[in-house]
Chain A
Amino acid sequence: MALPLTYNLRNVLVRWRATLATILGIALVVAVFILIQSLAAGLEQSGRNTGDPRNLMIVRKGSTAESSSQISREQLKTFGYLPQIARDGRGRPLLSADLTVLVSLPRADGNGEANVTVRGLGPMGIELRPQVTLTAGRWFIPGRREAVVSTKMAQRFAHCAPGQHFKTGGKELTVAGWFDGGNSAFDSEIWMDADEARDLFDRESYSSVLVRMMDTNAAAQFMGRMEKDRRLPMRVVPEVAYYSEQTRTSVVFKVIGTFLAVAMSVGAFFAAMNTMYASVGSRTREIGTLRVLGYRRRAILLSFLVEGGIVAALGGLLGCATSVGLQSLSVFLGWQFGTMSFNTFSEVVFQFRITPGLAAQGLLFAVVVGVLGSLLPAIRAARLPVIAALKEV
C-alpha cells in the first residue's frame, strides 16, 4: 500500500515557499497553452458557426476559396433554375451570386492598412444567411453605392460608422448600417449589393453562388447533377462544410501554441525537478524512517512522483483559472481578436473559446511535466540506503 495522499498534500503546503515559484511557472505554461489553443478553437468555431445547413455553396472546380473562384453569368444561367433549388413566395429561386473582393482599408487605430473581404450579395443573399442580423442603421439598397459593415470590423477600421464614407476602388462607399454575424466568418466582412460591387470593382463574373435546397434529397440530386455536367466545372459543397474548411489558420495557432508550450514546459520540467530534489534532500531522515517502518522503495518512489504531480496540478489549476478569468474578462470587456487569415489574407475576427476539453488538456499536460520532472528526485529518494538516511541530520 502507498503513503496517504494527505501526507503529500501537507508536505506541499508546508513547503509552499519553496514550491510557489514552480507552481507559478507551471501555471504560466498552462495558461499560455490554453489561451493559444483556445484562440485556435475560437477561429474554428467561427468557421463552424458559419452557414445554413439547407444551403449549398458553389465555387469553381479546383479553387479552395471564393477569392480564387470565378463563375460567369452564362454558367449561372445553366444551373440557376434547376428544380431542386427552393423558391420564395413569388416563385423566384433562393439563390445569391456573390462577388468577393479583397480591399485594403485604413485601420481605426491609424496603424496602417489591412485587408478586408468585401462581399457583394445578390438580392436573396441576406435572406439566405439568417444568422446575420442588422444591429444599426439599415441594409444597403441595391443600385446605391452603399455598404453594411460587420460591427466587429467597424471597430477595427476607420470611417465605418453609419453615415460615414470610405474609399475603395477609387470610389466612395457610404456606410448604411452595421450587422452582426453571430460569431461567424461573416463577422470579418463588409457587405454590399453584388451588381454595384461588379461595377465598382469592374468584374464580369461572380466568385461564388449560394443556393437554398428544397430538402436533403434535392441537395443530393443537385450535387450529383452538377458533378456529372461536364460543361460546368463547379465544386458544390454544403455551406457549413465550406466554411469549416476555411479555418486552416487555426492550425498555425495550434502549432505556435504547442511549440511555445513545449519550449516553456522544458523550463517547468527543470523547475519541478529542482523543487523535488530539494524536497528529497530535506526529508532524507524522514525517508529512512518510513523505510524502517516497512514502506518499500516503490512506495517512496510513488509518493514523490505523486507529490510532484500535486505541485504541477496546483500550477495547472492556477493556469486554468487564470485563462478562464481572462476569457471572462474579455467577454465582459467585449474584446475580440483579429488575425490575418492564411487562406484569404484578409483580416478575420473571432472570440477565444476555452472548452472543458482544453482545460483538461492543459491540466494533464502540467501533471505529466510535474511527474516527469519528479522522476529523478523520486528515484534518488527510493534508492537512499536506510542507515545512511537515518544518520542524516
Chain B
Amino acid sequence: MPTNGAIVQIRNLSKIYAQGEIQVTALDNVSLDIGACEFLTLMGPSGSGKSTLLHIIAGIDRPTSGECRVQNIDVTRLNESRLADWRNQNVGFVFQTFNLIPVLTAFENVELPLLLTQLSRKERRQQVETALDLVGLADRARHLPRQLSGGQEQRVAIARALVTDPTLVVADEPTGNLDSHSAQEVLGVLKSLSSDAGKTVIMVTHDPKAAAFGTRTIHLEKGELIKD
C-alpha cells in the first residue's frame, strides 16, 4: 500500500448497526487521508456519523467493513489488548464532557496514561509538568477536577491526551460544554498542537467558528463524506 505521506488512511469504511429488522448506516463507504500536522475538523448534522468515525480512527470502535490505517497499522485488525496498548501509545482522546477522574488531582489525571508505560517516576513527573505547562495549568497540578473551571478541566484533559506524545489527538466536540472564552483557549491549544508540536489533530464540532481553527474541514451527511 502506498504511503503518500498520510498519517491516517481510511478506505471504504462502513459501520452498520443492525437492530432487529432496521439497519442504521452510521458510516457509508468513507475513504479519507489525513496528513501529519493537519488539524482536521469534522462537521455535519447530528447523527451523521462524526463520532462513529472518530471512534474508529481512535481504536475504540470497530467498523463493519473497510480499513483504517494509522501509520500503516490497520487498527481494525488489532485484538482487544493490543488495541488498548496501541491507544495508549498513539492516541490522545479529548471528550466533550472532559471525563477527568474526580478523585485524582490534575497532575494524577495527566499521569494516568503514563502509568502504563515503562517511564520512571521522575520521567513521568517531567512529562506531566511539561504537558500541564503547555496548556497553561502548571500552577493547578494539585487541584482536583471539581476545583477547576470547565475550561481548565478541558485543558487538563488535553494535557492528559498529549502527555504520552501520541501521533493522533482526537477531540469529540471539545468545546461543546464551554463558554466562548474557554472555547477559544481550548481551540488555541489544539491548534498549536498541530502547528507547533506536529501532531495530527482531528476534531468533531458543530461550531463553524471552531472549525475555522482547523487546516481543513470535511463534512459528513448520513454517514457519507461530502466532497466539496
Residues of A within 8 A of B (CB): 1, 3-4, 6-7, 10-11, 14, 285-286, 288-297, 386-387, 390
Contact = CB atoms under 8 A, between A and B. Distances in A.
A1 B117 CA distance: 8
A289 B116 contact: no
Contacts of A3: 115
A293 B104 contact: no
B116 A1 contact: yes
Q: Interface on chain B toward A: helix, strand, loop, or mixed SS?
A: helix
Interface in B19-59: 55, 58
Nearest to A9: B103
Contact of B113 (A10, A286, A288, A294): A294
23 contacts: A4-B115, A6-B108, A10-B103, A10-B104, A11-B103, A285-B99, A286-B99, A286-B101, A286-B102, A289-B99, A290-B101, A291-B60, A292-B60, A293-B113, A293-B116, A293-B160, A294-B84, A294-B89, A294-B116, A295-B116, A296-B80, A296-B85, A387-B61
A130 B18 CA distance: 88
Contacts, number: 62
B213 interface: no
Given A288-B99, A390-B99, 10 more contacts: A10-B103, A14-B102, A285-B97, A286-B102, A289-B101, A292-B58, A293-B88, A294-B84, A387-B55, A390-B95
B3 interface: no
A295 B84 contact: yes
Contacts of A386: 60-61
Interface in B67-121: 80-81, 84-85, 87-89, 93, 95, 97, 99, 101-104, 108, 112-113, 115-116
A285 B108 CA distance: 18
A7 B144 CA distance: 13
A296 B101 contact: no
A138 B103 CA distance: 70
Interface of B: 55, 58, 60-61, 80-81, 84-85, 87-89, 93, 95, 97, 99, 101-104, 108, 112-113, 115-116, 160
A386 B55 CA distance: 10
Closest 8 CB pairs of A and B: A294-B88, A10-B103, A289-B99, A296-B84, A293-B113, A386-B60, A294-B87, A292-B93
Nearest to B103: A10
Contacts of A289: 95, 99, 101
Contacts of A387: 55, 60-61
Most central of B103, B112, B116, B160 by chain A CB within 10 Å = B103
A290 B112 CA distance: 8
A293 B116 CA distance: 9
Contacts of B116: 1, 293-295
A214 B118 CA distance: 70
